[in-house]
Structures are given as C-alpha cells and as structure tokens.
Amino acid sequence: MSKKTVLVSGGAGFIGSHVTVELAQAGYDVVIADNFSNCDETNYRGVCAILGREMPLVRMDFCDRGAVDALFAQYPFDAVIHFAAFKAVGESVAEPLKYYRNNLLSFVNILDAAREKGGLNVLFSSSATVYGETDRLPVTEASPRQEAKSPYGNTKVMCEDILRDSVKAYPGIRGIALRYFNPIGAHPSALIGELPRGVPNNLVPFITQTAIGKRECLSVFGNDYPTPDGTCLRDYIDIVDLARAHVCAVTRMCEDRMKEPYEIFNVGTGRPVSVLELVNAFEKVNGVKLNWKFAPRRPGDVTAIWADPTLAEKELGWKAERSVEDTLKAAWAWERRLAGK
C-alpha cells in the first residue's frame, strides 16, 4: 500500500494524540488539526517527542468552512479521523446549543468537503453512550441505541446518522463509527495522557489527581446499585489499545476491505469493572492509599455497560491487550510526571 495521509481532527487532545502516535508508527503520514479550545500543547509536544519529529499541525476550527476547505486543498487526505468535539456531559446539559453547533457543524463541514473532493474514508469517534441504559449486556453493535441522556450523547447519535446518510448519498464517502467504552490511561512513555481542564468529570483522572494531592477526596458516586459490590460497572479500555483500533479501522478502509460502505464497531475489552474494583486496583498496583468516600449517585449514570467486542476482533483483527493494572500504572506515571515527580 502506498503511503497514505490521514487527517486527525482534534489531534492534540487525549485520544487524538495517542491515535496520531500509533498511526505514524504504523507508517501513515498524519496531519493534526486542532483549535486548542479544550487542551494546551502538552500532548502535541509529547507526540513530537515520542515520534522524534515535528508533526504537521494546523491550528483551525472545523466550524470555519473556509478553514476546512483550505486544509483539504493543502493536503491529499486519504482518510480523516474526527475527534474535534466538545465532550463534557454535564456542560452539554447546561449549554446544548454550544454542543449542537460545535459538534454537528464541524462534522458537516468535514463531510461536505469530502463530498466536494469526490469522496474520503471517514472514521468517526463515537461512544457507547449511544446505548444508554440497558440490561441486555454485553452490548453488541446490533444492540438498540437509546434516547440520549444528554445533548453530548445526542450529538454522537446524530453524527453517526449524518455519516450513515452521507455514505448513502455521496459516492466515494465511506464511514466507520467506533463506539468507545471508557478510555483510560496514558502512553507508556508518560509523554502524553489525559489532560482534563478544571475538575475532572471522569473517574481515572479524578483518582490520579486525588492520589497526587490535587484533589482532597474521591467521591464514589453510589454504592446501592444492583451490582456485585453496589458500584457501577464499566468497560475501561486502555488508551493505547483504543488508538490501535483506529489504525486497524483506517487500514481496513484504505485497503478496501470494508464489507459495507458504513460500518460500526464496539471498541471495548468485554470485561466489566466496578468503580470500587478500579479504586482498589489503583491502590494495589501503585502502592498508594487513596482518600475516598461513598457519595450519592450521580444523575445520568447508567448502572452497567460493557462491550461484546467480538465483531472488532473478527473484522478489524483488533483485541484489547493491556490489563487494567498496566493501564492504571501508566495513568499514575503520567500524573506524577505532570506534577514533576
């Protein structure tokens, strides 16, 4: 296969930076485009350090159609991986229009530019949030999507449909939606990782910030769920495993191995882990004592969700390989490096 060029929109962020590293190491030419509205340059500099070179970076907003057209005129993209979106569940409830405008318009601009270019391989960063609350577990790609519980989750459902309908209508556009479960961890180099702005919403960065002393105490939201230990169950997937799933999906598209012009894959481990199990594993593998307490349930949380990942294994040739313990060690190493320790 001749060298292919991949656009990573939002490529300076947590997932985009890890995907950029894996793509480049797999032999792809990668262009990062980001407006840095939700991150600083830490991960971009980390990507360049890991790869040993300055990676092509375009500072732009995908809501600016002119900027998107200029980007597509500058590079001969074979594929785009679209991460550039707002992703804070709670904020999306308070500011729905900010989320609908940013998350939908940015993707429509990319797809419209792809249409004008005569086609493109499009990989969309979707989320298990589209499955909502279900007691039919594990979820497969055929599991029904549920009414989104937040505008953020609704933009994921809507963007999947926008991609599906664009593939149907415009020749040459092909699409894969990857439905992530819970991405956690950091690159083994500790040069890139999760960089939440302000107080973390997500569990693992709150754990590591509590352990490093940035947060006073971790609240475990609810211990009265109908689960073995009373806390919620999730499918925590290592960020490097997740990134490698993107390489497999892009390669499937670039090598014309898709079976349908629009495909969906769950990207998870298939292993449910509870909040308490994660807290205990973090303390054990890192030899730290975490200050935590039980707190009331968090509105909007589902009791349990985890993936049936067999389709991705069969069709993408991808399977999660890293253990939760390895991931939590990497998460802790990253937090300690951020603190200069």
Task: Tell me if 246 contacts ligand WQD by CB under 6 A.
Answer: no
Helices (H), 52-150: 65-74, 89-94, 96-116
For the CB of residue 291, give the shortest distance to ligand WQD in the complex, in Å: 12
| Segment near ligand WQD (CB under 6 A); pick from 33-41, 165-173, 196-204, 259-267 | 196-204
Element (H, E) at 334: helix 324-338
Q: What CA–CA distance (Å, rounded) separates 115 from 72?
A: 11
For the CB of residue 219, give the shortest distance to ligand WQD in the complex, in Å: 5
The correct pick among 39, 157, 232, 248 for binding ligand WQD (CB under 6 A) is 232
Of residues 71 and 273, the one with the C-beta less far from ligand WQD: 273
- Catalytic residue flag (residue 131): no
For the CB of residue 298, give the shortest distance to ligand WQD in the complex, in Å: 5
Furthest-apart CA pair in the chain: how many Å? 56
Classify residue 46 as exposed, middle or buried by CB count within 10 Å of its CB (0-12, 13-18, 19+).
buried
Task: Tell me if 201 contacts ligand WQD by CB under 6 A.
Answer: yes
Contact (CB, 8 A) for 325 and 185: no
Query: Could you say which of 28, 44, 131, 152 is catalytic?
Result: 152
The whole-angstrom distance between residue 129's C-alpha and the CA centroid of its chain comes to 12
Task: Tell me if 220 contacts ligand WQD by CB under 6 A.
Answer: yes
Residue by residue, DSSP assigns 263-303 as: EEEEES-S--EEHHHHHHHHHHHHT----EEEEPPPTT--S
Contact (CB, 8 A) for 309 and 268: yes
Of residues 20 and 274, the one with the C-beta less far from ligand WQD: 274
The correct pick among 167, 275, 312, 333 for binding ligand WQD (CB under 6 A) is 275
Task: Tell me if 129 contacts ligand WQD by CB under 6 A.
Answer: yes
Of residues 120 and 220, the one with the C-beta less far from ligand WQD: 220
Task: Tell me if 283 contacts ligand WQD by CB under 6 A.
Answer: no
Number of residues interacting with ligand WQD: please give it, by CB under 6 A. Answer: 18
State the Cα torsion 161-164-168-169 to the nearest 10°: 50
The correct pick among 14, 83, 86, 206 for binding ligand WQD (CB under 6 A) is 206
The correct pick among 176, 186, 203, 239 for binding ligand WQD (CB under 6 A) is 203
Of residues 89 and 328, the one with the C-beta less far from ligand WQD: 89
Q: What CA–CA distance (Å, rounded) separates 169 from 172?
A: 9
Please give the positions annotated as active site. 152
